[in-house]
Amino acid sequence: MAARQPLRVLCLAGFRQSERGFREKTGALRKALRGRADLVCLSGPHPIVDVAGLEGAGPESGPCPPEEQLRGWWFSEQDADIFSALKEPTVCRGLEEALGTVAQALNKLGPFDGLLGFSQGAALAALVCALSQAGDPRFPLPRFIILISGFCPRGLGLQESILQGPLSLPSLHVFGDTDRVIPSQESMQLASRFTGAITLTHSGGHFIPAAAPQRQAYLKFLDQFAE
């Protein structure tokens, strides 16, 4: 009997996460899914200056390595590199570049069985799936999606209507009861856009849970796609 091939999952980082930081944040999940899924991490295209990190930095500190550069997918203000998930934005600056980054990764690093997104990355992953279902040729429809601390992105203009659902692909929505960054009702609203959505709650806050109870839920969800 041939060994089962791991599922390949493209994972979209949250806002203000570097590629290395996101790999570290998903380390426990990667260990929990070893042999079942390979996680390929992707951070946003837009660098973010870490003002706090610049304090006390001298000229000899040197440039930040690319994999340690904090990044985001898009910004909610025209003149500031900030993002607020819970307020109606004035713009979605950089969103098209974000979509282009995901499309390029799908094309060059794929094929992938599924998408996983955390926080702003989860909102983007949901939008990618909606665009795919609407026929956007840049985005092949994944077999499944996992959204952690997700929310419905606001202020997308014409694109916002496609997120009204229903989105028909299998989905797992993970969120914390004490998440103060993305309140659980935001994640529940996003889950309501998906037909047959499965929800997984935990008692913690804004992070990617991978303890034993969550591990079993991830594996149960993913096993339906194993070949």
170-211 pLDDT, tens per residue? 999 999 999 999 999 999 999 999 999 999 999 999 999 999
Name the residue with tokens 């990617």. 208
CA angle 202–16–107, rounded 5-degree value: 90
Do residues 114 and 146 make contact, with C-beta atoms less than 8 angstroms apart? yes
Handedness of CA 126, 129, 133, 139 (dihedral sign): positive
The answer to whether 57 touches 26, Cβ cutoff 8 Å, is no
Residue that the structure tokens 């916002």 belong to: 160
pTM of the model: 0.91
Single-letter amino acid, residue 183 = P
pLDDT of residue 81: 92
Q: What is the pLDDT of residue 22?
A: 94
Predicted local confidence at residue 66, as pLDDT: 74
Judge contact between 123 and 109, C-beta under 8 A. no
Catalytic residues: 119, 179, 206
Beta-bridge partner residues of 118: 148
Distance CA 226, CA 113 (A): 10
N-term to C-term CA, the chain: 12
Using the CB atoms, write b or e for 61-73: b if 16+ within 10 Å. Answer: eeeeeeeebbbbb
The pLDDT value given to residue 126: 95
Q: What is the pLDDT of residue 16?
A: 95
Q: Would you say 25 and 43 are in contact if contact means Cβ atoms under 8 Å apart?
A: no
pLDDT at residue 58, rounded to an integer:
38
Residue 28, pLDDT score: 93
Question: Which residues of the chain fall below pLDDT 50?
Answer: 1, 51-61
